Amino acid sequence: MKTNRNYGCKWLSTIMLGLMLLSPSLHADRLKDLASVQGVRSNQLVGYGLVVGLDGTGDKAPFTDQTFRNLMNKFGITLPQGSDPKLKNVAAVTVHADLPPFAKPGQQVDITVSSIGNAKSLRGGSLLMTPLKGADGRVYAMAQGSLVVGGFGAEGADGSSITVNVPSVGRIPNGASVERAVPTAFHRGDTLTFNLHNADFTTAKRVVDKLNDLLGPQTAYAMDGGSVSVKAPRDASQRVSFLSVLENIEIDPGEGAAKVIINSRTGTIVVGQNVKVLPAAVTHGSLSVTISEGAEVSQPGPFSDGETVVVPQTDIDIEQEPARMFKFGPAITLNEIVQAVNQVGAAPGDIMAILEALKTAGALKAELIVI
């Protein structure tokens, strides 16, 4: 064990020397911004409980009555069978939270409380002690406290009402205390694995090259386009220091695939980098049809038996702007695409039609995504 500790110290000294010799790139990102350490993750917790102290905005669900009766039994109070407690100030809720990695007993986490019945509002309520369980069914935290609700609602005597935001959901900052730590594999094995947030073979190779330049040949290797493993010391303290250094290494990420994203509902168009267009000519024009409805009075002839009547009159006006043709050149850049479209004054809807036509013709060298 002593040999491993000395070896780890020498390794860290080598890393620090290598970092001083490496010059960061102007467009580089830290490794901690590009990837996460495998096994270092949060865990979801969920629980069921009661919110009390509401101002008559509770629910009338049967499971709320059942939960309330069970609670009273725990306090030594037995409600008569068949009696209706008429719970207007109580609501059944679910409670969920994310347990951060390495959370220890006694630490506190934020929780979110949501009504599962027909409660109108949780405003002013307090959550009673609620156990929060993980996917394995074990209790990892206990929640309790006064809710903070951002929404509210109001009703008038005539039945009119107004609601702002969602009053049936609230939060309790630091509302749960951790009771059990989640086991982690962070200290196990001889390697650590970095999982890239966006899988990319170029980025993975650059991470491997940078780590091997710093730590020595064959220290790091790519498992696939989304994961990179690196040899690490086993000692817990050395492993933390080791990661502290590695996560601040500057990496030049690979450029993403060329994409054009179109939001058909809002007309928003996002054109990514490396989008190119083959030589193509596009005609842009518009046809405007205006229909106006009117009326005119029709008078009968003199000494006739006719009657004066109102006759509807419809006027149709058609205007067509001259179609303008503009050319996209080969390997055109993002800036040139924007300039070419702006020169003809195309609206967002027209731009979408142009891009879809270019994609159909095979002239748009990018993935076209319509959402």
The answer on 277 and 190 residing in a single domain is no
- φ/ψ of residue 215, rounded to 5: -100, -20
Question: Tens digit of pLDDT per residue, the chain (371 long)?
Answer: 444 444 444 444 444 444 444 444 446 789 999 999 998 889 999 999 999 999 888 888 888 888 888 888 888 888 777 776 778 889 999 999 999 999 999 999 999 999 998 888 899 899 999 999 999 999 999 999 999 988 666 665 555 566 667 888 999 999 999 999 998 888 888 899 999 998 889 999 999 999 999 888 989 999 999 999 999 998 888 889 999 999 999 988 887 777 778 776 776 777 777 777 777 666 655 544 454 556 676 777 676 666 777 666 656 555 555 555 555 566 556 566 666 666 656 666 666 777 777 777 777 777 778 77
Q: In this structure, are residues 193 and 199 in contact, taking their beta carbons and an 8 Å threshold?
A: no
The answer on 148 and 48 residing in a single domain is yes
The answer on 206 and 145 residing in a single domain is no
The answer on 284 and 163 residing in a single domain is no
Can you give the pLDDT at residue 72? Answer: 85
Q: Name the E strands within 54-168.
A: 91-99, 108-115, 126-133, 139-146, 152-155, 161-164
Gap between the Cα atoms of 325 and 17, Å rounded: 60
Gap between the Cα atoms of 5 and 106, Å rounded: 31
Last residue of a domain, one of 115, 145, 178: 178
Give this prediction's pTM.
Answer: 0.66
Gap between the Cα atoms of 177 and 47, Å rounded: 13
DSSP 257: P
- Report the domain count for the chain: 3
User: 83 lies in which domain range?
Assistant: 43-178
Q: CB neighbours of 210 closer than 8 A, spacing ≥ 6?
A: 249, 250, 251
Can you give the pLDDT at residue 359? Answer: 75
The answer on 150 and 53 residing in a single domain is yes
